[in-house]
Structure 1
């Protein structure tokens, strides 16, 4: 009785490649993407217009743009530990890191971070060493 069942299971693996072409499902599907505002890194300018609210289980793309007015970074280890980073895109190059602690811009440019929001809570991203509220963005994952 076990062998016919095992043979049937293995026969499913022998289907043509087109039969297995299901595309993305679940958390990486196009129906699971949320929108979020970008962040601008510029000396003396606010990072965003206000706090950012995300939903756990949704995929987002964070676009960070630096205008080159200074060597600026963003840190937020709590936030980066509450998400799963799918990819970081810099100048068309895709990087698939295990995790992030911070990012830094030495000159003008754009970086896109595609991630899955996982752990609900309140987090922040900020310019290291800054104390002003405009140099910090609050991010909540619900």
Structure 2
């Protein structure tokens, strides 16, 4: 009878021990970090790099366009290596299945909240550009 009581006590304690991130799991505030923002501006570097992320950690990426031109940011490999929780534009939340690129026709800010998943080396860049300043390397460990 004593053994049964011990097993029952362990079974009820196990779920609490299994969730080291808390009730929200990997989306809890304890597991979220902010990235340096990416700036889209004609003739200016988009970010300092390389950027190192940890797999399983949540991040908020802010992309700011200054309106100096119609500018985009692409990185299909990177966007496939993360799970996007939401994209926020002007207070509107979008919960996409996935993306390959984003584009700004005018000045604005976009926030992408995601979980880094697949380790590897990736990039975000302005499409059609060849300059190192128009590209940032992202490493997921």
Q: TM-score, normalised by structure 2?
A: 0.83
Any conservation in 1 of the 2:49–2:138 contact (CA below 8 Å)? no
- Distance, in Å, in 1 between the alignment partners of 2:23 and 2:128 is 40
Is the aligned partner of 1:88 residue 2:87?
yes
Match of 2:139?
A: 140
How far off is 1:24 after superposition?
A: 4.3
Mark the runs of 5 or more structure 1 residues left unpaired by the alignment. Answer: 1-22
Is the aligned partner of 1:115 residue 2:111?
no
Is the aligned partner of 1:69 residue 2:105?
no
How far off is 1:51 after superposition?
A: 1.1
Mark the runs of 5 or more structure 2 residues left unpaired by the alignment. Answer: 1-21
How far off is 1:32 after superposition?
A: 0.5
How far off is 1:83 after superposition?
A: 0.1
Match of 1:131?
A: 130
Determine helix, strand or coil for the equivalent of 2:133. Answer: helix
Q: TM-score, normalised by structure 1?
A: 0.82
- Pairing of 1:1-142 with structure 2 (within 5 A): 24-142=23-141
How far off is 1:123 after superposition?
A: 0.1
How far off is 1:85 after superposition?
A: 0.3
Structure 1 segments (4+ residues) deviating >4 Å: none
Aligned residue pairs total 120
CA offsets 1:39-60 (integer angstroms, 9 cap, x no match): 0000000011221100000000
